[in-house]
């Protein structure tokens, strides 16, 4: 049992044993773990306490606190409806509210709300900004990423032909086949069939050969769909090769990269590599309005997507984006591309390291900071339940975090023996609550 010793506790020396310390529920776990790692575990006898540290007056340093809750005027608004505010340690998950709006975005939305405009003019003006930040010929603010995928499909199937546009989702007389790697099938690919499209799969889920794409291309092919997303196989054909083969048959390549920024370079990467249309989320790391998306690409295809979209009375009419949200997205994306990505990544890494430092001594749990260009585009604190873990299951830990007050949602989209803390939507106070609650649940 580790012995804590303070020479400054209201003027007198005071010894605190670790089990007593945990009964007090110390919430400053960074200090706790730092000390635990720096000084050896000692038997519970006063004579064994040869290593001493100066903790200072515990109350003065705010080591012990009561359970925290989500506070602020925003939280109060939801509570008046009987809705319990949560802590989203899962990243920019739509089901948990997406992302926190930037203050500048909220201000821009408020200013835009009281003035009326012609929506066609606003959409074209916003599209020019999107074109600038993506390097594309044109851009459009879609109703989230999913709404943009529907517009991608409508654009390559019906173009801006009013007769065809009016028939969708009846695809009679149109090219309506979308070629997709079997390994790229994903829950949102229904957006491509919502317009009357059908899929033709290539590859077997583990690999794909160029001849399979060549063989699949035919007179009914509307486009080749390519997915960039964390935690999917990398065994599909290389993107540049897909572009080369498809363009050799005059077939466009359309990309879903909704959750593939940061890095900010990805906003221009796929257009530069030959994509004809690319869709990004506007409400994830960009931190624009949650109901917005960034659609960019060839001018003729973006114009066709716009023709099929609100306020026009075609298949995209229901996927309306308000004038306020268009302004909010434009404001957000311009701020996003100008931000210091290195400083942002450093801050996220430091937040993740706090989680790791607090939990690294938990037996059977492996805690690491993960950051790469494919799965962990934002640094994550990854918690792996090893074969030596003897505590609650991964799913039980997840549920216990959700069942607490406030509910805390972790990321659980990767391997079945892993949970992760994504710091994208966390402030310092929320991070402390997450760390404390994890410590309690894991050691319960």
Tens digits of residue pLDDT in 169-208: 999 999 999 999 999 998 889 999 999 999 999 998 789 9
Q: Measuring CA to CA, how many Å separate 406 from each of 8, 22, 174, 192, 400?
A: 34, 21, 51, 38, 11
CA–CA distance, 43 with 141 (Å, rounded to integer): 64
Residue 37: pLDDT band (50, 70, 90) is very low
The answer to whether the beta carbons of residues 193 and 183 sit under 8 Å apart is no
Q: How far apart are the first and last CA of the chain?
A: 18
Residue 29: pLDDT band (50, 70, 90) is very low
Q: What percent of the chain has pLDDT over 70?
A: 84
pLDDT for the residue numbered 232: 83
pLDDT for the residue numbered 401: 97
Q: What is the pLDDT of the chain when averaged over all its residues?
A: 86
pLDDT for the residue numbered 16: 39
pLDDT for the residue numbered 328: 98
DSSP SS3 for 162: helix
The token pair that represents 29 in the structure block = 């776990």
pTM of the model: 0.83
User: Would the pLDDT of 1 be above 90?
Assistant: no
The token pair that represents 228 in the structure block = 């960039």
How confident is the model over 138-169, as pLDDT tens digits?
Answer: 999 999 999 999 999 999 999 999 999 999 99
Domains of the chain by range and CATH? Answer: 3-48 (no CATH), 73-97+341-442 (3.90.1150.180), 103-171+224-337 (3.40.640.10)
Residue 71: pLDDT band (50, 70, 90) is low
**Strand (E) positions, 118-238?**
138-142, 177-181, 198-202, 221-227
> 349 Cβ partners below 8 Å, 6+ apart?
369, 371, 379
Closest of 440, 434, 231 to residue 351, by C-alpha: 434
Where on the phi/psi map is residue 121: left (φ > 0), alpha (ψ -120 to 50), or beta? Answer: alpha
CA–CA distance, 125 with 110 (Å, rounded to integer): 19
Q: Measuring CA to CA, how many Å separate 337 from each of 202, 228, 282, 330, 356?
A: 35, 20, 13, 11, 30
CA–CA distance, 392 with 442 (Å, rounded to integer): 7
CA–CA distance, 33 with 435 (Å, rounded to integer): 11
Residue 387's Cβ-count burial label (10 Å; 0-12, 13-18, 19+) is: exposed
């Amino acid at each position: 049992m580790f012995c804590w010793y303070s020479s400054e506790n209201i003027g007198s020396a005071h010894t605190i044993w670790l089990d007593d310390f945990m009964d007090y529920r110390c919430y400053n776990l960074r200090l706790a773990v730092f000390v635990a790692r720096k000084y050896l575990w000692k038997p519970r006898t006063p004579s064994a306490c040869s290593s001493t540290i100066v903790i200072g007056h515990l109350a003065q340093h705010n080591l012990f606190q009561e359970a925290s809750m989500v506070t602020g005027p925003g939280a109060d608004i939801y509570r008046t409806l009987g809705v319990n505010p949560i802590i989203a340690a899962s990243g920019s998950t739509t089901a948990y509210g997406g992302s926190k709006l930037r203050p500048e975005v909220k201000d821009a939305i408020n200013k835009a709300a009281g003035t009326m405009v012609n929506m066609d003019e606003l959409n074209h003006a916003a599209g020019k900004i999107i074109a600038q930040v993506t390097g594309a010929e044109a851009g459009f603010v879609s109703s989230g990423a999913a709404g943009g995928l529907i517009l991608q499909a409508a654009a390559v199937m019906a173009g801006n032909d009013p007769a065809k546009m009016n028939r969708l989702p009846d695809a009679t007389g149109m090219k309506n086949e979308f070629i997709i790697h079997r390994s790229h099938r994903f829950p949102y690919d229904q957006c491509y069939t919502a317009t009357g499209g059908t899929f033709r799969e290539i590859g077997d889920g583990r690999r794909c050969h160029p001849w399979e794409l060549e063989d699949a291309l035919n007179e009914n092919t509307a486009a080749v769909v390519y997915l960039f997303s964390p935690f999917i196989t990398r065994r599909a054909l290389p993107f540049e090769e897909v572009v080369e083969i498809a363009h050799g048959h005059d077939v466009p390549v359309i990309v879903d990269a909704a959750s593939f920024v940061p890095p900010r370079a990805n906003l221009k990467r796929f257009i530069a590599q030959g994509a004809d249309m690319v869709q990004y989320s506007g409400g994830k790391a960009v931190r624009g309005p949650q109901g917005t998306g960034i659609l960019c690409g060839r001018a003729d295809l973006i114009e066709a997507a716009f023709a099929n979209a609100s306020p026009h009375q075609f298949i995209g009419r229901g996927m309306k984006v308000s004038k306020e949200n268009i302004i909010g997205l434009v404001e957000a994306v311009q701020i996003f591309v100008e931000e210091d990505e290195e400083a942002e990544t450093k801050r996220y890494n430091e937040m993740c390291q706090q989680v790791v430092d607090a939990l690294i001594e938990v037996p059977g749990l492996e805690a690491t900071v993960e950051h790469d260009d494919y799965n962990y585009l934002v640094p994550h604190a990854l918690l792996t339940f090893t074969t030596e873990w003897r505590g609650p299951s991964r799913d039980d830990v997840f549920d216990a975090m959700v069942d607490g007050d406030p509910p805390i949602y972790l990321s659980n989209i990767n391997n079945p023996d892993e949970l992760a803390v994504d710091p994208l939507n966390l402030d310092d106070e929320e991070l402390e609550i997450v760390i404390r609650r994890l410590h309690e649940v894991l050691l319960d």
